[in-house]
Structure 1
């Protein structure tokens, strides 16, 4: 599931939960249905609003779904107004020297207010300048003011507008990248910084921003690449070492008996494997060639085939074979 989709889903869930919790927003009879819908939406997109780690990763706060939608409407109104203008977009509105000076004065005032950290007042001054002239610098400066007060979504809108006016204005790409990074949209931030670096390859701020953004990008398929668990392996120096097929047979017997005493009086094979005296006797058998002779016994081979196929023989069947009786007698003397 793409992280961008999950961010949108979490924003929708937050909006719906706020509607449920806010008195008078929806009818009381509809609250239960809305709560069920919230749960279904979260499950469908793999979003759990009760998981603090996931919420921290996906949240776009302080932005909310209503504020995002509000920015979209305002942007569409501006774009629509520009498109309906009879003058070609490439021809800026003719301004008198007096108007240009007035806009520049508003910009300077905004810069002074920014230095005093009076961000709302600075935004108001930049807006006055923009009302006189659609200037990339004015939009970029207002984007910086929005980011300084934590309204990074509005900063994105202004930075994009600055780039639309002057695609070669490098500082606007830095404003855009910073705002996207603050919204935790690290892929979009990296894209903005890269676009700026194409214009100014030596810009240290853009380089640093790009490195930081790339370091925070999490691939969408991280959760899908979990390797399957490895099969446990026997310690070559542990109990059963050097017994070859016999150790595997005993391990199979232990699994068939549930790892302990099984049906038909089956012995606890796990305990047998961990008994030093028992293993010493088995190793002695192998050294004397007795184990090899026993493994050539057709009855033993048949028993192992049955064990591997899941057909566990009873103790009576096992002990009725002379070869196994002999093995049992040798194990019996190793207590």
Structure 2
């Protein structure tokens, strides 16, 4: 004899089949066969879906058999995901951890060489070997930002803080990527979280101040958001990594440059590090300036910024200002 629980289950099955016939889930050609099957199932378990008394006893409404099954599937999926995650963290062999660390070191070298695609490849291999190390994701985020893939950098930084919520450098990388995407509100929040974890970090303090200044200047502007975002993107960097100096005839808008907190911040860092002195004393720069000014007019700054040799010299001088990969071991 069927138990009450089994009868309740059979009642839900009959309700599901009846609903499927009515809403078109089951074709009209198959409806007759399903109705015969429902009658046989009901008789076998002593259940009559049309009986009001049984409806009161066995119906699960407002829940349905399908909604109950959906809950079960979601619970099962979450349980399996948690088990897989735990396994990936606890079952990494010492050999794989060592190999992953070697991949990270090689990736750091490629970043120093500015070979960012190869660095990303090596960090990815490290993550494959040991996906529970936040440093690998944060380093890959830095490499993504260096080559302009800031959305990917944000995703990797988020993964890093998911693994290690107290990893301040991951929040710093996230803030940098958001800033480059002109998402200044998100950048401020990320920097604030990083500073909360590491209050004495001067780099994060300065980055936070720059992001707040940019956020403030944007909020005071009456320029539409879409137009402002496009303008910021154009002025923040060019294909060669320089600020876009293009005004009419290749001349810069000096007022905009001097009011740009990010550019002023970069200039202050260059002067304090002595990098600017190195550039100004470089004979190659002096030679190029003389050649460009030979006609007696002012130099074409856009042309100077597009000069490959000058680009390389500037990148070398500013290399200390870019996000560096982390050598911390977790």
With normalisation by structure 2, the TM-score equals 0.41
Q: Which structure would you say has the larger Rg?
A: 1
TM-score, reference length from structure 1: 0.40
Higher relative contact order (CA 8 A, sep 6+): 2
Bigger helix fraction: 2
